[in-house]
Structure 1
Amino acid sequence: MPEHAYDEVLAALASAPDEESRRRLGRAFSSFGAVDRYVEALKHPSAPVREFAARGIESACSVAYGRKPDPAVDHDRVIDALIPLLADPDDGVAQWVRWVLSTLGPAVVDPLRRVRAQGPGRLRPAALSVLAAVDGEEALSAVDRAAVERLIRIKLLDDRAQPLDTCFTSWIAVPGGDQRAITEVLGLFEVRPATFALGRSVGVHDSHDGAEYGRVYVTPRVDGWTLVLGPWCNPVDPQRADDVLRIVEELSRRHGRAQAYCFGEQGGGSGWLVAENGNAVRRLSATGRNDDARFALGGLLPEERDAAAEEGVAVPGDARAGEEDDEEWADLAPYLAPDLAQRLGVSPFDLGPHTEVRGAGFVALTPHAGEHGRPATGAYAI
């Protein structure tokens, strides 16, 4: 679109009568690539204009995913213009500005640190969030790190269980609440207190866009069990299956029972591993991968049969089962991990206000982090 149409599109966007019009005009407005004009538009009285000006800046100036800064752009001026909008009265604008600043790379760190140190106060909370998103806790000052740790300790005093569902959830379940023994078997280190919200947030971060094996969240005792959450716990991950099998068998040797599961809510399938008294009694991968069969151990559990019976599905090996029944089981199995976890102990998906909680949870690094480096950190819920 020719740049001379910029003013016309801006005016139309400012007066757009409905959401669909704003969306279409906003897309056109943010495609001009006119960074200097977008900086001016950040002061416009129309919230949609401010929002799509920020989007236009993100499109032209982002250094995410390996993009290089445009040498023709005055990035300091852009950042200085965006920062006041962290407290924009329109929530949509403020949210987009937080996102845009987080894509502009290390250049935002010093200006946002000044906001944290000098104010204004209305910008400080959002500045902290953006700093964490840009470069994790390493971007925070010592004072801010101490403040975050203090806030976590305060929230732990009244922490309540909540579902631990992530993009692709993997977890180990151990009866009892002996976190120290579990930490020892798993080889965890750098233990740091964490609320349920923080544990889930870390889990979401670590299971999104690839598996982060360097960190886990360990719950307090929940309804008599301790859960360890993170991609590192996946019992049918080709990179982790052998080690998880060893770990779960050792945990069951010490605690009588132990289990591991994975579940992908967006079609990722299920996997489970159940061990008793030091030996695996069952492992199944139902993820739809070509190598699912190589992970199979043991025979069907009574809980698997019960779950299938409740759905009217015959399990493989039943005398009455035919080819169609086997297909029905193959269709059901990818959804069973949360149900089986609940039947066999506790499911992280079913935690909530009704859950009996004893103790406090923590985030810790795994042996993978010791061998391959610390995982990246980000902006997490607390």
Structure 2
Amino acid sequence: MRSLALKVLVDAGGAAALGIADRHAVERLLRIKLKDQHPVKLPSEAGRWLAFPADRLDTVVSTLGLHDLQAITSTAGIAAATEFTDALKVEDAQAETQTVYRVYITPEITSWRAALDPEDDNVSTPRFTTWRLLWGNSYLDERDGFTLADRVSERCGEAHFYLTDPYNSAENWYVSRNGHPVRGFSTHAFPQFSGDPLPFEIEYRQDAVDEEEAEEYAQGVPYALTAADNLSIEPGSVLPRDTRGHGWLATTHPDLSNLHFKGALPL
């Protein structure tokens, strides 16, 4: 009954509700899990995420004002940012209500296209070879993923925002470089495309096998996962050889740690 009771405590009050000994036990278990967490599985059916160059983690943490970075497995991190509580309302010193978010940043992931022959003019390769993805449904919705991508790219050189929403039949992908929009697609926008087509989009149009496919890609690529696959990292199963290190869980407020978010995360 003890394990069930501990789960109830965390579901009701977050890990902060645990005693010191139990909290240390969970931390030990997490350290064990982190040694063998591959392959990484990122949800591809629906979601929203930012992509940024992997070696700019510290810059992104500073730019977005993230705090309390905790090493975490991908299973727990994705659950924390997409399935469990990822936003809390708190009152500041002036008795004003603020929303604090929880986000997950993946390990470093190498783009499979980075291994392609750079001399092959018929193949687009990403500008950066390794990426990290930031997940957080509430954070990216309420803080606007497009704006966040611009902020991150201004400091990191490049950032992308992706969204797939089967419920609303919506897809979005957006590329920002040096703080400025470069290219984007949004299902429900008018016009749907913004900016000039990128090289990989031109390849899709040129390589069309029939008129129907040529028409499908006449203006560009309208699919977020396809764009992610060509520009950075496509969510799904990531091979162990393409993954390095571990992911991080973080919050957006210095005084509210990850311990206060409710839910017993799967490790």
TM-score (norm 1): 0.52
C-alpha contact 1:185 1:247 (8 A) present in aligned 2:
no
Separation in 2 of the partners of 1:376 and 1:170? 20
The alignment status of 1:259 with 2:160, answered yes or no, reads yes
Q: Aligned residue for 2:107?
A: 220
Unaligned runs of 5+ in 1: 1-122, 319-328
Q: Which residue of 2 aligns with 1:339?
A: 226
Match of 1:276 in 2: 177
Higher helix share: 1
2:17 alignment partner in structure 1:
139
Q: Distance in 1 between matches of 2:168 and 2:260?
A: 26
Query: Structure 1 residues 126, 191: CA separation in 2 closer, same or farther (over 3 Å shift)?
Result: same
Which of these residues, 117, 139, 146, is aligned with residue 245 of structure 1? 146
2:104 & 2:262 partners in 1: Cα distance? 14
SS of the residue aligned with 1:341?
helix
Separation in structure 2 between the aligned mates of residue 340 and residue 298 of structure 1, nearest angstrom? 14
Q: How does 1:54-93 map to 2 (within 5 A)?
A: none
- Relative distance call for 1:206 and 1:132 in structure 2 (3 A) is closer
Aligned length: 232
- Equivalent-residue separation in structure 1 for 2:234 and 2:167 (angstroms): 18
Q: Is the 8 A contact 1:213 1:231 kept in 2?
A: no
Q: 1: distance between equivalents of 2:265 and 2:197?
A: 39
Q: Which residue of 1 aligns with 2:195?
A: 298
- How do 1:143-182 and structure 2 match up within 5 A? 143-165=21-43, 168-182=46-60
Q: CA deviation at 1:267?
A: 5.0
1:187 matched to 2:65? The reply is yes
How far did 1:296 drift?
5.7
Please state how far the C-alpha of 1:199 moved relative to its aligned partner: 0.9
1:42 alignment partner in structure 2:
none
| Uncovered stretches (5+) of structure 2, i.e. residues with no partner | 87-98, 111-129
Cα shift readout 1:198-257 (whole Å, capped 9, x = no counterpart): 11211332589xxx97111011211111111112564xx4x433xx33432233233332
Q: Quick check: 1:196 aligned with 2:74?
A: yes
Shift of 1:265: 4.6
Aligned residue for 2:265?
A: 380
What is the match of residue 118 of structure 1? none
How far is the alpha carbon of 1:195 from its aligned partner? 0.7
Pair member with larger Rg: 1
Taking structure 2 as the reference length, the TM-score comes to 0.72
Alpha-carbon distance in 1 for matches of 2:3, 2:202 = 51
Contact 1:271/1:284 (8 A) holds in 2: yes
CA shift in 2, pair 1:299/1:173, >3 Å:
same
Q: Which has the higher contact order (CA 8 A, sep 6+)?
A: 2
Overall identity of the aligned pairs, in %: 30
